[in-house]
Amino acid sequence: MQKLKVALVQQALRPDREKMVAATSAQIREAAAQGAKLVLLQELHTGSYFCQTEDTACFDLAESIPGPSTDHFGALARELGVVIVTSLFEKRAPGLYHNTAVVIEKDGSIAGKYRKMHIPDDPAFYEKFYFTPGDLGFEPVQTSVGKLGVLVCWDQWYPEAARLMALAGADLLIYPTAIGWDPRDEEAEQQRQLDAWVTIQRSHAVANGIPVVSVNRVGFEEDPSGAGAGIKFWGSSFAAGPQGELLARGGEEEELLVVDLDLRRSENVRRIWPFLRDRRIDAYQDLVKRYRD
């Protein structure tokens, strides 16, 4: 596939899972009506970003894969003839949970999945309490619309993850995301964080010569424990081409972004910027060390 119409579903939280899934499904239908063949959903899109606090009751939110979400979105993918990238709280076994992206093929089947590899542990982002680091590696998922290099949120800060997906033949990089500001931060600090987030992901497009698509949550979500100030998710979902050029960018409200990706440009860009050719793979051994003392 040379040209691909992609939809990014940027949403705010609803009162319960049923309403959240219904709203997401409506946006997927609208995306298909606009001609999208690939629909991308934000991180943990079936409910709240529950990692603001450590609460064992939240493990009850997890589900098996296959399970209720893959059944529902699989049926929708089959009906509409679209590929959907979901992001779910996976219960793999008792006491073993992952933050997992599932790619659903247009026939409704599960094309593949990716378990989040880099797990943060920061104030309001206590993910290490919930998620076991992924064990599936950095492997793109082959679909009818191309080879999808799916990563998740915190992975987006690591050039190694993007590079390994590109080296495995990914046609584009996809980042379901849940990131926002601490409302107590000064406006200048908030802007620095947002700019850094966009810049690092655009750099992955440049360094690897492939498009990058990132879809983020929007809206304020309070800390249910009352200990923190909550998170204002900044949205700003975007798509960038293989030279880092911005093709579409959302704001801080709910939004459906539909963008055309020209996948042929990756070949053309890699011919003039042959970064993969010039890599010094004979001199990178220290990359597997934590730090060079």
C-alpha to C-alpha distance for 160 and 122, rounded to whole angstroms: 21
C-alpha to C-alpha distance for 180 and 72, rounded to whole angstroms: 28
Give the pLDDT score at 187. Answer: 97
CB 257, CB 10: distance < 8 Å: yes
Question: Where are the chain's structural domains?
Answer: 3-288
C-alpha to C-alpha distance for 177 and 278, rounded to whole angstroms: 32
Report the Cα 268 to chain-centroid distance in Å: 26
- Which are the catalytic amino acids? 43, 116, 153
For 3-288, the fitting CATH number among 3.60.110.10, 3.40.50.2000, 3.40.1390.10, 1.10.630.10 is 3.60.110.10
**Using one digit for the tens of pLDDT, what is the confidence trace for 235-256?**
999 999 999 999 999 999 999 9
Give the pLDDT score at 172. Answer: 98
Q: pTM to 2 decimals?
A: 0.97
